[in-house]
Structure 1
Amino acid sequence: MTIDDLPTAEHTHDEAAPVDDLWFADGNLILKAENSLFRIYSGLLGARSSVFKDMFGFPPPEGGNTMMDGCPIVTVYDSAKDMAYFLKAVFDSSYFEPPPSPTELPIVEAVLRLSLKYDVQYLRRRALHHLSSTFPMTLDGWRDRDTFRTIPPVDNTPFAAFRIAREFDLTWLLPAILYCVSSHPFEKTLDSAPWGNEELAFGWEDKRMAIIGRQKLLLMQHRSAVSMAKLAGTKIEDCTGATCSSTKQRCADILGGWDMAGFLDYFEDHADIYEDFCPACNAAFKELCAADSDEMWTKLPELFGLPNWETLERSRVTALE
């Protein structure tokens, strides 16, 4: 059985089975999580984790440990999937490297959870850096996220990331996550979003925060559409294009018709429309979009009732210590 073959908690087998990827023939300890067995090296695990180091220092239980192939079996009360990802990160140096190496959100979540529980600080920091690369705290970082993100944009990733941010109190990730949530159909926030075998649903307080913040975000977006429409009715000095006004109005109509977030990428994503602008109008339109994007990003935490960026940055620095 490999990591990918591990059953979920809802579909475990009756008998414990070795996980091939984490079954070392010369290992001296077997960890049992749910119905999965991992034969590993206690010395190396203890060197990485102060919690396991202390655990291995305890005297064995009265009557001794259950044995298998000459190795003691120690039961841990974590999901087999989480434990597999965590142990793979510990024992395979190429499996969970820091950014810019790519990874996947379920791996990040599992490694973060167990590196906190078992005190493996370098893995904890790696997990946080991966989350930061995908949900940045600056507008420049947002615009470059497709280049630097290490977690792929699998559908409904923001909803899963929101759960992680809440579970581990990573408030500094929430503005970017909630902006992404606001770019999805409203029904996902109101009801739930599928993620693997799960349906991810917000609790009432988080749902209220996401809905009210989304509404404020869309109001800002619609104000930008009005500004575009006003620009369409204004003769730009040095304008040389016959279709510039109609093109600006078209841009305003597109943005004004959206019922989900998207303005931060609006200028970059609609470059095909701007081919009809003359150079002067293109510059004026770009300046309008840049100014409104800067304002939206600056106000993003406030829209969702979160602390300002400076406060969130201090939280991020503290978390990475």
Structure 2
Amino acid sequence: MSDDDAERPLKRHKPQHEHQETNVTEIERSPDFWFDDGNIVLQAGPTQFRVAKSMLSRHSSVFRDMFSLPNPTSESTVEGCPVVVLAGDTNTDWKHLLAVMYPAICYDLTKPNIMTVISVLRLSKKYDLPAFRKESIRRLRGDLPSKLEDFRKLPVAGWLYLGEVSDVQLSRTIALAKELCLWSILPAAFYGLIESIFNHDGSYRPVGLSLADEISLLKGYARLTRLNTEAPNRAWLEAESPCVPCDDCLFRTLCRSRCASLRSTLQAQQAGPGAVFSGWDENWSDEFCGPCIKAAKEAYNDKQLEIWKQLPSFFGLPDWEELRKMDLDAGE
């Protein structure tokens, strides 16, 4: 979107006679958002939405300013309502936004689809809907965090704040993050995509990324694949400098033997690149004494934190601190 488009997001409908208001072959009325008491008709693509000015004004300074101006006398109308053409917007984005403005269910606790969040975020930036923008960003950052401690809070399967997410949706999220300057979610989005689309045998399924993003993804995959053979397990299982048995070990011979056995087992496993940030497997704790378990966990977590700090660079991005400074709301 150009700067001119950002400054002029709304267009008045071209003047036409009342009997020419609807061309059934080109324009459709939204079955879900056409309210008899609405007093403004919004047109996005081929779809018209009849809603209340007051609802739009309540959330958007752009619409509030627009509605404060007198209507042109030659303005086109539909059923007595002025028509506003939303230049550059899609009907899909507006369906998602209006579904949030006009919820059909009281106390709906379902997690929104990531595509809904993307649509709401895109329009909330263009039309200045701060509450919608803030909540959309909160959910995206919640499931695509920039801090390892927040990443570790995510469930093994699924998301905390979003509904089911597919490969294609993650690809679109990467594109949106660049479009709307949400840079800090990019590393976790790339990493999530790697977890999702690469099988354990290393096969790859294209997901519709741009060429530049696909190159970044493949470079990150290569880095993570190499790391997975070395860390974070290598941090405490390395034969040359193991932390098991530790200095305070209670059963040095037994812990040393179990460490060697577990090292062989893990080296034989073919874990995918997404395993780099997998949580500590409590089954490993059954093998060692208390002091060795503590030392091993500390080494494991420290190594994961070291890799997490490097994660943006795997995809050709600046470090975490710089990415957070680049975010659109960094100064808020």
Counterpart-to-counterpart distance in 1, 2:106 and 2:181? 26
What displacement does 1:128 show?
Answer: 0.9
Structure 2 equivalent of residue 6 of structure 1: none
Q: Which moved more, 1:224-233 or 1:161-170?
A: 224-233
* Deviation per residue, 1:172-203 (Å, 9 max, x gap): 1112112222323449997622xxxxxx2232
Structure 1 equivalent of residue 268 of structure 2: 253
SS at structure 1 position matched to 2:282: coil
- Unaligned stretches of 5+ residues in structure 2: 1-23
* Conservation of the 8 A alpha-carbon contact between 1:232 and 1:249: no
Q: Which one of 225, 230, 237 corresponds to residue 238 of structure 2?
A: 230
Structure 1 equivalent of residue 326 of structure 2: 315
Q: Which one of 154, 179, 190 corresponds to residue 167 of structure 1?
A: 179
Structure 1 equivalent of residue 36 of structure 2: 25
What displacement does 1:313 show?
Answer: 2.8
* Deviation per residue, 1:191-247 (Å, 9 max, x gap): 622xxxxxx2232x2222222222222222222255555349966232346645312
Does residue 47 of structure 1 match 2:58?
yes
Structure 1 equivalent of residue 85 of structure 2: 75
Q: Which one of 187, 211, 214 corresponds to residue 207 of structure 1?
A: 214
Does residue 145 of structure 1 match 2:158?
no
What displacement does 1:301 show?
Answer: 1.9
Structure 2 equivalent of residue 263 of structure 1: 276
Structure 1 equivalent of residue 114 of structure 2: 105
Counterpart-to-counterpart distance in 2, 1:319 and 1:93? 34
Distance change (3 Å), C-alpha of 1:264 and 1:228: same
What displacement does 1:106 show?
Answer: 1.0
SS at structure 2 position matched to 1:152: coil
> Quick check: which one's helix share is greater?
1
Which structure has more relative contact order (CA 8 Å, sep 6+)? It is 2
Q: Which amino acid aligns with 2:142?
A: S
Counterpart-to-counterpart distance in 2, 1:131 and 1:189? 28
- Unaligned stretches of 5+ residues in structure 1: 1-12, 194-199
Q: Which amino acid aligns with 1:172?
A: S
Identical-residue share of aligned pairs (%):
26
Q: What does 1:110-189 align with in structure 2 at a 5 Å threshold?
A: 110-146=119-155, 149-156=160-167, 157-186=169-198
Structure 2 equivalent of residue 4 of structure 1: none
What displacement does 1:274 show?
Answer: 4.5
Q: Which one of 187, 202, 206 corresponds to residue 192 of structure 1?
A: 206
Counterpart-to-counterpart distance in 1, 2:274 and 2:54? 50
The TM-score, its normalising length taken from structure 1, stands at 0.78
What count of residue pairs does the alignment treat as equivalent?
295
Distance change (3 Å), C-alpha of 1:233 and 1:130: closer
